[in-house]
Every structure is written in C-alpha cells, then in structure tokens.
Amino acid sequence: MPNEIQPAAPDAHDRYAIVVAQWNQSVTGVLLEGAVATLRAAGVADDHIDVAWVPGSWELPLVAQRFAEGGEHAAVICLGVVVRGETSHDQHINRGVSLAFSQISLQFDIPVLFGVLTCESMEQAVDRAGGAHGHKGQECAEAALHMVGLLKNLPGA
C-alpha cells in the first residue's frame, strides 16, 4: 500500500494574505467574504488574515509577491474578475497574471491561489461568486488551507 500524505490540520498560528481587486468590486467583495468566512470556519482568527485591495487584477501579482517574500504568511489568496470585452485585452491580463502567480508560488515556496474569475460576462462572474457555479472565494480559501497543511506534512518540510 502506498504512503498517502494527508494535510495537517489548520494551525491557529498561520497567517493568510488575501489580495483583492477593486475592479468589479460587486463580485470581488463577495469573493472576499467567502474566503474570509472559510478561513474563520477553519479557526483562523481575524488578526491572522491580512487583506490588501489593489485597483485591478493586473496589480494582484505585485502585492501577492510582497506578501510571499515577507515570509509571514502561509498562503496568499488572490481574488479578481476579468470579463471579456470587445478586444483581446482580457487575454493579456489573464495570461500575465496567471504566469506571475505560478512564478511567485515557486520562487517563494508558498501557495498562491488563483481566484481570478475569467468570464465571458458579468452574469458568469456572479454565478461563480456564490451563484449557480459555486463560490470561487470559498474554494480558494479551502485550497489554501489544504495546501498549507499538505506542505507541512511533505517529506523535507
């Protein structure tokens, strides 16, 4: 039977950072509420959750990197909404932001969660922020808790 590594239980001492885009705040605010509620339900105290608002999704990686390089946080949750418009602008934002998140995560050995909704319409965004297609804010916080716990139990941790 193989040795299956399970995540450690959430630790009350772990801090979490959340970076949120102000653009489309009617949706990103809901994503933030879901992420915070999920962390609280896992026992993370409010004073262990740091939230930083940035103008838009393009600005998320820089602040995520600052949180990651600071070494005080167990994970960084990034929340935003990019809605497709009449041009290819959304594709450039989505590509750059997603590549930056993966680079930050690997460079600083910290989970950086991709909670940027990449949608065709605002209706799709609303559906993914507690509507018909789940809640991406909650999902990102759950993934952050899982990854933090898993990294603690991996060999060499």
pLDDT tens across 126-157, in order? 877 877 777 899 999 999 999 999 999 998 75
Active-site amino acid positions: 89
Instruction: Assess whether pLDDT exceeds 70 at residue 90.
Output: no
Q: What is the mean pLDDT of residues 97-125?
A: 89
**Torsions phi, psi of 80, nearest 5?**
-165, 175
Cα–Cα distances in angstroms (integers) from residue 27 to residues 31, 129, 156, in the given order: 6, 6, 39
